[in-house]
Amino acid sequence: MAMMKRVAESAVRAFALGSTSGALTKHLHASAGSKKIVGVFYKANEYAAMNPNFVGCVEGALGIRDWLESQGHQYIVTDDKEGPDCELEKHIPDLHVLISTPFHPAYVTAERIKKAKNLQLLLTAGIGSDHIDLKAAAAAGLTVAEVTGSNVVSVAEDELMRILILVRNFLPGHHQVISGEWNVAGIAYRAYDLEGKTVGTVGAGRIGRLLLQRLKPFNCNLLYHDRIKMDPELENQIGAKFEEDVDVMLPKCDIIVINMPLTEKTKGMFNKERIAKLKKGVLIVNNARGAIMDTQAVADACSSGHIAGYSGDVWYPQPAPKDHPWRYMPNQAMTPHISGTTIDAQLRYAAGVKDMLDRYFKGEDFPAQHYIVKEGQLASQYQ
Ligand SMILES: NC(=O)c1ccc[n+]([C@@H]2O[C@H](COP(=O)([O-])OP(=O)(O)OC[C@H]3O[C@@H](n4cnc5c(N)ncnc54)[C@H](O)[C@@H]3O)[C@@H](O)[C@H]2O)c1
């Protein structure tokens, strides 16, 4: 364990150092004095003490408590984020910095932003800041930043796993083993090889590209749609074909993977009409955001068999309520939001948050790719 910790610590250092490149200009100034910083994370309870590197939970608090408190800052950490009487709500009026995470999202609404008179900085420990009303944050002059790149490998690996789980019809076999059954036919009648299948990613940014690279040795037919076409050399190296029109690409796909952020343009993009145009028997992996899908349209298409398998870790809202339709639909291999919070990812996004706080205290700029809202402007893909 000690050795694992040392390896992980050096990975964190390498990541943090990598993210310090870039020009340092001064924009976001933390006025002198003690800051009130609030972190909202998932609670680990009995699991908290099981791994010294488990920093992404309330108990681990990103491993920055001693560092913050030694500088005179106040650091409050909670998982209690919903409703008018929750712990988060109590601190909204006087906090300076809110650290939140997509895994247990603190929904930062326009109403909360209005109440947060001292708020300057919203940091996302991870990637994807759609739980924040970004327009309201921009209008209020707040800075929103995330740890871009911190968990992209974690998510791409997880997507590859989900693709294989669906293609091979793995879960019914696993359930048989637990329930004492043995029925090869019940699995084999729709278990396939991945080789030769057409896989399309909607969004080919950091995660989408890593997934395509990982899929290349499987000898699939790889397609991608994005706002931006890759440069030809990279496209050639990855071996994926660009599809300018998403509605031309989607019906060609045996497997569709979603790899773009939740924005006003992508919200509800997979509605009943679009799903109806997909191949019958299509498999969908979505680790991007739940709200890119029309929840009921996905549940209906899984029930009818039009979608033969749906897997992902993202839901709306989160935590998913007990009656969320995706818990009960057939042909699903869903999990809680987990892919981007491996221990390796936690160490990287904790280091990234610490680095940005340090820069904030010193009045230095963050690495450019981390900004989601800066000086009233939303990052281009959120506009
Ligand atoms: N499940 C998890 O644990 C987890 C972890 C990390 C990220 N994510 C999600 O994955 C998303 C992608 O992450 P990333 O690191 O690859 O981000 P990225 O910014 O590197 O890539 C996103 C890509 O989507 C494209 N895009 C944006 N809007 C589009 C649109 N309307 N049409 C077509 N393409 C569009 C962009 O051009 C970009 O290439 C995040 O925004 C987040 O929501 C989930």
Domain boundaries, the chain: 2-148+341-377, 152-334
Spatial CB neighbours of 287, under 8 Å, sequence gap ≥ 6: 155, 158, 159, 162, 207, 258, 259, 312, 313, 314, 339, 340
Overall CATH class of domain 2-148+341-377 = alpha beta
Q: Is the pLDDT of residue 190 over 90?
A: yes
3-state helix, strand, coil in the chain (%, to 5): 40, 15, 45
- CA dist 374 and 370 (Å) reads 10
Is 271 designated active site? no
Closest protein CA for atom 21 of ligand 1 = 205
What's the pLDDT band for 13 if we cut at 50, 70, 90? very low
- Establish whether residue 288 lines the binding site of ligand 1, counting it when its CB lies within 6 angstroms of any ligand atom: yes
pTM of structure: 0.93
Indicate the SS3 state at residue 242: strand
Is 131 designated active site? no
Please indicate whether the domains covering 2-148+341-377 and 152-334 agree at the CATH topology level.
yes
Overall CATH class of domain 152-334 = alpha beta
pLDDT digits (tens, 9 = 90+) for 65-113: 999 999 999 999 999 999 999 999 999 999 999 999 999 999 999 999 9
Q: Which residues are part of a known binding site for substrate?
A: 127, 151
Mean pLDDT of 338-356: 98
Determine which one of 131, 209, 225, 337 is catalytic: 337
Compute the mean pLDDT over every residue in the chain, rounded to the nearest whole number. Answer: 93
Q: Is the pLDDT of residue 311 over 70?
A: yes
Closest CA to 41 of 74, 71, 76, 12: 76
Per-residue pLDDT, 27? 52
Per-residue pLDDT, 29? 67
Closest protein CA for atom 18 of ligand 1 = 205
**Pair type for strands 74-78 and 97-100:** unpaired
Closest protein CA for atom 10 of ligand 1 = 288
Q: Where does the chain have alpha helices with state H? A: 2-18, 65-70, 87-91, 110-115, 134-139, 152-167, 170-178, 185-188, 206-215, 232-238, 246-249, 272-276, 295-304, 325-328, 343-362
